[in-house]
Structure 1
Amino acid sequence: MLATVDLGQKLLVVGGILSLLASILHIGVIIGGPDWYRFFGAGEDMARMAEKGLFYPALITIGIACVLAIWSWFAFAGAGLVWKPPLLRTGLVAISAVYLARGLIVLPMAIFAPEKINGFAIWSSLIVLIYGLFYAAGTWKSWPTLS
Protein backbone atom coordinates (compact mmCIF):
# COMPACT_ATOMS: atom_id res chain seq x y z
CA MET A 1 0.00 0.00 0.00
CA LEU A 2 2.74 2.47 0.93
CA ALA A 3 4.68 1.54 -2.23
CA THR A 4 2.25 3.63 -4.28
CA VAL A 5 2.58 6.80 -2.21
CA ASP A 6 5.25 9.46 -2.34
CA LEU A 7 7.93 10.14 0.26
CA GLY A 8 5.94 12.93 1.92
CA GLN A 9 2.99 10.63 2.42
CA LYS A 10 5.25 7.90 3.85
CA LEU A 11 6.78 10.38 6.28
CA LEU A 12 3.33 11.52 7.40
CA VAL A 13 2.22 7.91 7.89
CA VAL A 14 5.23 7.30 10.14
CA GLY A 15 4.49 10.54 12.01
CA GLY A 16 0.87 9.50 12.42
CA ILE A 17 1.84 6.08 13.73
CA LEU A 18 4.26 7.67 16.21
CA SER A 19 1.58 10.05 17.47
CA LEU A 20 -0.93 7.22 17.74
CA LEU A 21 1.55 5.11 19.70
CA ALA A 22 2.22 8.05 22.03
CA SER A 23 -1.53 8.47 22.51
CA ILE A 24 -1.92 4.79 23.40
CA LEU A 25 1.09 5.02 25.73
CA HIS A 26 -0.60 7.87 27.61
CA ILE A 27 -3.65 5.67 28.14
CA GLY A 28 -1.28 2.96 29.34
CA VAL A 29 0.18 5.37 31.88
CA ILE A 30 -3.28 5.90 33.37
CA ILE A 31 -3.81 2.14 33.58
CA GLY A 32 -0.27 1.57 34.89
CA GLY A 33 -0.81 4.01 37.72
CA PRO A 34 1.59 6.03 39.85
CA ASP A 35 4.71 4.03 39.01
CA TRP A 36 4.10 4.63 35.32
CA TYR A 37 3.60 8.35 35.91
CA ARG A 38 6.99 8.37 37.62
CA PHE A 39 8.74 6.23 35.02
CA PHE A 40 7.49 8.30 32.08
CA GLY A 41 8.46 11.60 33.67
CA ALA A 42 5.10 13.05 34.64
CA GLY A 43 6.57 14.14 37.95
CA GLU A 44 6.21 13.20 41.55
CA ASP A 45 3.20 15.47 42.09
CA MET A 46 1.21 13.68 39.38
CA ALA A 47 2.26 10.28 40.74
CA ARG A 48 1.20 11.23 44.26
CA MET A 49 -2.16 12.52 43.06
CA ALA A 50 -2.68 9.23 41.18
CA GLU A 51 -1.78 7.33 44.35
CA LYS A 52 -4.47 9.28 46.20
CA GLY A 53 -7.01 8.35 43.55
CA LEU A 54 -7.50 11.93 42.35
CA PHE A 55 -8.92 12.38 38.86
CA TYR A 56 -6.63 15.25 37.86
CA PRO A 57 -3.71 13.11 36.56
CA ALA A 58 -6.05 10.92 34.51
CA LEU A 59 -7.90 13.93 33.07
CA ILE A 60 -4.66 15.64 32.04
CA THR A 61 -3.29 12.42 30.58
CA ILE A 62 -6.52 11.68 28.69
CA GLY A 63 -6.41 15.22 27.32
CA ILE A 64 -2.86 14.69 26.06
CA ALA A 65 -3.84 11.31 24.58
CA CYS A 66 -6.76 12.93 22.73
CA VAL A 67 -4.55 15.69 21.32
CA LEU A 68 -2.02 13.13 20.13
CA ALA A 69 -4.78 11.05 18.52
CA ILE A 70 -6.06 14.14 16.69
CA TRP A 71 -2.51 14.89 15.53
CA SER A 72 -2.32 11.32 14.24
CA TRP A 73 -5.53 11.92 12.28
CA PHE A 74 -3.98 15.02 10.69
CA ALA A 75 -0.91 13.04 9.62
CA PHE A 76 -2.98 10.20 8.18
CA ALA A 77 -5.20 12.73 6.40
CA GLY A 78 -2.13 14.43 4.96
CA ALA A 79 -1.04 11.04 3.64
CA GLY A 80 -4.44 10.59 2.02
CA LEU A 81 -5.50 7.66 4.20
CA VAL A 82 -8.48 9.23 5.99
CA TRP A 83 -10.84 12.15 5.51
CA LYS A 84 -9.29 15.59 5.72
CA PRO A 85 -9.93 17.75 8.76
CA PRO A 86 -10.46 21.48 8.33
CA LEU A 87 -7.27 23.52 8.00
CA LEU A 88 -5.15 20.47 7.23
CA ARG A 89 -2.09 22.44 6.09
CA THR A 90 -2.28 24.87 9.00
CA GLY A 91 -2.73 21.99 11.42
CA LEU A 92 0.24 20.03 10.09
CA VAL A 93 2.47 23.11 10.22
CA ALA A 94 1.35 23.86 13.79
CA ILE A 95 1.81 20.24 14.89
CA SER A 96 5.28 20.18 13.33
CA ALA A 97 6.16 23.42 15.12
CA VAL A 98 4.95 22.17 18.51
CA TYR A 99 6.84 18.89 18.22
CA LEU A 100 10.02 20.64 17.03
CA ALA A 101 9.82 23.32 19.72
CA ARG A 102 9.27 20.70 22.42
CA GLY A 103 12.15 18.67 21.02
CA LEU A 104 14.53 21.62 21.00
CA ILE A 105 13.59 22.95 24.44
CA VAL A 106 16.63 21.28 25.99
CA LEU A 107 18.91 23.75 24.23
CA PRO A 108 17.72 26.86 26.10
CA MET A 109 17.32 24.71 29.22
CA ALA A 110 21.00 23.85 29.02
CA ILE A 111 21.82 27.56 29.09
CA PHE A 112 19.21 28.97 31.45
CA ALA A 113 18.24 26.04 33.68
CA PRO A 114 20.89 23.32 33.46
CA GLU A 115 19.78 21.93 36.83
CA LYS A 116 16.50 20.85 35.21
CA ILE A 117 18.18 18.71 32.57
CA ASN A 118 18.01 15.04 33.42
CA GLY A 119 17.80 11.79 31.51
CA PHE A 120 14.06 12.18 30.92
CA ALA A 121 14.47 15.71 29.52
CA ILE A 122 17.11 14.53 27.08
CA TRP A 123 15.54 11.32 25.79
CA SER A 124 12.01 12.69 25.64
CA SER A 125 13.24 15.73 23.74
CA LEU A 126 15.06 13.54 21.23
CA ILE A 127 11.98 11.38 20.71
CA VAL A 128 9.69 14.37 20.20
CA LEU A 129 12.25 16.01 17.90
CA ILE A 130 12.11 12.90 15.70
CA TYR A 131 8.30 13.13 15.64
CA GLY A 132 8.56 16.76 14.58
CA LEU A 133 11.02 15.97 11.82
CA PHE A 134 8.67 13.35 10.35
CA TYR A 135 5.75 15.79 10.46
CA ALA A 136 7.74 18.74 9.09
CA ALA A 137 9.42 16.80 6.28
CA GLY A 138 6.20 14.98 5.40
CA THR A 139 4.24 18.23 5.33
CA TRP A 140 6.88 19.94 3.21
CA LYS A 141 7.12 17.07 0.71
CA SER A 142 3.32 16.64 0.52
CA TRP A 143 2.45 20.35 0.45
CA PRO A 144 0.97 20.43 -3.09
CA THR A 145 -1.44 17.57 -2.29
CA LEU A 146 -2.61 18.96 1.04
CA SER A 147 -5.01 21.63 -0.24
Structure 2
Amino acid sequence: MRRLKNAFSDEAFMGLVERFERQLAKLLSVLICIVLVAATVQLVVSVLSEFSNPASGWLGDDLIKILGDVLTLLIALEVLQNVTAYLRRHVVQIELVLITALTAVARKVIVLPPGAENKPMLLLGLGVTVVSLSAGYWLVRKADFRDRPPRTEQARGFRGLDL
Protein backbone atom coordinates (compact mmCIF):
# COMPACT_ATOMS: atom_id res chain seq x y z
CA MET A 1 0.00 0.00 0.00
CA ARG A 2 2.85 2.34 0.84
CA ARG A 3 4.47 1.72 -2.58
CA LEU A 4 1.20 2.55 -4.31
CA LYS A 5 0.89 5.73 -2.27
CA ASN A 6 4.47 6.72 -3.15
CA ALA A 7 3.79 6.09 -6.84
CA PHE A 8 1.06 8.75 -6.75
CA SER A 9 2.97 11.24 -4.61
CA ASP A 10 3.54 14.78 -5.80
CA GLU A 11 7.26 14.17 -6.31
CA ALA A 12 6.72 11.06 -8.42
CA PHE A 13 4.04 12.77 -10.48
CA MET A 14 6.17 15.86 -11.08
CA GLY A 15 9.09 13.64 -12.07
CA LEU A 16 6.85 11.91 -14.60
CA VAL A 17 5.66 15.24 -16.00
CA GLU A 18 9.24 16.55 -16.27
CA ARG A 19 10.39 13.40 -18.09
CA PHE A 20 7.45 13.73 -20.47
CA GLU A 21 8.31 17.39 -21.14
CA ARG A 22 11.95 16.53 -21.88
CA GLN A 23 11.02 13.71 -24.25
CA LEU A 24 8.49 15.91 -26.04
CA ALA A 25 11.07 18.71 -26.35
CA LYS A 26 13.54 16.23 -27.86
CA LEU A 27 10.93 15.06 -30.36
CA LEU A 28 10.13 18.65 -31.28
CA SER A 29 13.84 19.35 -31.76
CA VAL A 30 14.15 16.45 -34.19
CA LEU A 31 11.06 17.58 -36.09
CA ILE A 32 12.33 21.16 -36.30
CA CYS A 33 15.68 19.88 -37.62
CA ILE A 34 13.90 17.89 -40.33
CA VAL A 35 11.78 20.91 -41.28
CA LEU A 36 14.87 23.16 -41.32
CA VAL A 37 16.78 20.81 -43.62
CA ALA A 38 13.83 20.42 -46.00
CA ALA A 39 13.13 24.16 -46.06
CA THR A 40 16.81 24.99 -46.61
CA VAL A 41 17.00 22.59 -49.55
CA GLN A 42 13.83 24.12 -50.99
CA LEU A 43 15.24 27.64 -50.52
CA VAL A 44 18.53 26.71 -52.21
CA VAL A 45 16.64 25.22 -55.16
CA SER A 46 14.50 28.35 -55.37
CA VAL A 47 17.50 30.69 -55.32
CA LEU A 48 19.38 28.60 -57.88
CA SER A 49 16.37 28.60 -60.19
CA GLU A 50 16.20 32.39 -59.90
CA PHE A 51 19.90 32.61 -60.78
CA SER A 52 19.52 30.29 -63.75
CA ASN A 53 16.63 32.30 -65.18
CA PRO A 54 18.19 35.48 -66.61
CA ALA A 55 14.78 36.93 -67.48
CA SER A 56 13.71 37.19 -63.85
CA GLY A 57 14.71 40.32 -62.02
CA TRP A 58 15.98 40.15 -58.47
CA LEU A 59 14.47 43.41 -57.43
CA GLY A 60 10.88 43.47 -56.36
CA ASP A 61 8.59 40.70 -55.25
CA ASP A 62 11.04 37.84 -55.86
CA LEU A 63 13.66 39.39 -53.59
CA ILE A 64 11.08 40.06 -50.88
CA LYS A 65 9.87 36.46 -51.10
CA ILE A 66 13.40 35.07 -50.78
CA LEU A 67 14.18 37.39 -47.85
CA GLY A 68 10.96 36.26 -46.19
CA ASP A 69 11.96 32.62 -46.67
CA VAL A 70 15.44 33.24 -45.23
CA LEU A 71 13.97 35.03 -42.21
CA THR A 72 11.46 32.22 -41.72
CA LEU A 73 14.36 29.76 -41.58
CA LEU A 74 16.14 31.98 -39.06
CA ILE A 75 13.01 32.08 -36.91
CA ALA A 76 12.76 28.28 -37.02
CA LEU A 77 16.43 28.07 -36.06
CA GLU A 78 15.81 30.40 -33.11
CA VAL A 79 12.87 28.23 -32.01
CA LEU A 80 15.23 25.24 -32.13
CA GLN A 81 17.67 27.21 -29.96
CA ASN A 82 14.85 27.92 -27.50
CA VAL A 83 14.01 24.22 -27.25
CA THR A 84 17.68 23.28 -26.94
CA ALA A 85 18.20 25.87 -24.20
CA TYR A 86 15.20 24.44 -22.37
CA LEU A 87 16.66 20.93 -22.60
CA ARG A 88 20.01 22.13 -21.26
CA ARG A 89 18.83 24.28 -18.37
CA HIS A 90 15.22 23.16 -17.87
CA VAL A 91 14.04 26.76 -17.92
CA VAL A 92 12.56 28.92 -20.65
CA GLN A 93 15.01 31.70 -21.45
CA ILE A 94 12.89 34.78 -21.88
CA GLU A 95 15.68 36.67 -23.66
CA LEU A 96 15.76 34.07 -26.46
CA VAL A 97 11.98 34.10 -26.72
CA LEU A 98 11.93 37.89 -27.05
CA ILE A 99 14.66 37.84 -29.72
CA THR A 100 12.70 35.20 -31.65
CA ALA A 101 9.55 37.32 -31.43
CA LEU A 102 11.44 40.43 -32.58
CA THR A 103 12.81 38.50 -35.56
CA ALA A 104 9.30 37.32 -36.44
CA VAL A 105 7.92 40.86 -36.30
CA ALA A 106 10.87 42.15 -38.35
CA ARG A 107 10.11 39.49 -40.95
CA LYS A 108 6.49 40.62 -41.05
CA VAL A 109 7.55 44.24 -41.55
CA ILE A 110 9.99 43.31 -44.34
CA VAL A 111 7.50 41.18 -46.28
CA LEU A 112 4.51 43.49 -45.91
CA PRO A 113 2.40 43.14 -49.05
CA PRO A 114 1.85 46.07 -51.38
CA GLY A 115 -0.97 48.24 -50.12
CA ALA A 116 -0.18 47.63 -46.45
CA GLU A 117 0.44 51.35 -46.03
CA ASN A 118 -3.32 51.76 -46.46
CA LYS A 119 -3.95 49.69 -43.33
CA PRO A 120 -3.07 52.02 -40.45
CA MET A 121 -4.23 49.61 -37.74
CA LEU A 122 -1.86 46.92 -39.04
CA LEU A 123 1.05 49.36 -39.08
CA LEU A 124 0.15 50.68 -35.64
CA GLY A 125 -0.11 47.15 -34.27
CA LEU A 126 3.28 46.19 -35.70
CA GLY A 127 4.82 49.37 -34.30
CA VAL A 128 3.39 48.79 -30.83
CA THR A 129 4.56 45.18 -30.97
CA VAL A 130 8.11 46.20 -31.90
CA VAL A 131 8.25 48.82 -29.13
CA SER A 132 6.79 46.42 -26.55
CA LEU A 133 9.13 43.55 -27.43
CA SER A 134 12.12 45.90 -27.50
CA ALA A 135 11.21 47.34 -24.11
CA GLY A 136 10.77 43.85 -22.70
CA TYR A 137 14.13 42.78 -24.08
CA TRP A 138 15.78 45.89 -22.63
CA LEU A 139 14.24 45.22 -19.21
CA VAL A 140 15.38 41.59 -19.25
CA ARG A 141 18.90 42.60 -20.24
CA LYS A 142 18.98 45.33 -17.59
CA ALA A 143 17.81 42.90 -14.90
CA ASP A 144 20.37 40.32 -16.08
CA PHE A 145 23.23 42.79 -15.68
CA ARG A 146 22.04 43.73 -12.18
CA ASP A 147 21.98 40.09 -11.09
CA ARG A 148 25.59 39.48 -12.08
CA PRO A 149 28.25 40.04 -9.44
CA PRO A 150 30.70 42.84 -10.17
CA ARG A 151 33.85 41.82 -12.00
CA THR A 152 36.90 41.77 -9.79
CA GLU A 153 39.53 40.35 -12.13
CA GLN A 154 41.87 42.58 -14.09
CA ALA A 155 40.72 43.53 -17.55
CA ARG A 156 42.51 41.68 -20.32
CA GLY A 157 43.41 43.12 -23.67
CA PHE A 158 43.09 41.62 -27.09
CA ARG A 159 44.05 37.93 -27.23
CA GLY A 160 44.60 37.72 -23.49
CA LEU A 161 47.32 40.39 -23.30
CA ASP A 162 47.25 42.39 -20.06
CA LEU A 163 46.43 46.05 -20.35
Query: If the length of structure 2 is used for normalisation, what is the TM-score?
Result: 0.30
| Structure with the larger RCO, 1 or 2 (CA within 8 Å, 6+ apart) | 1
The structure with the larger Rg is: 2
Query: If the length of structure 1 is used for normalisation, what is the TM-score?
Result: 0.32
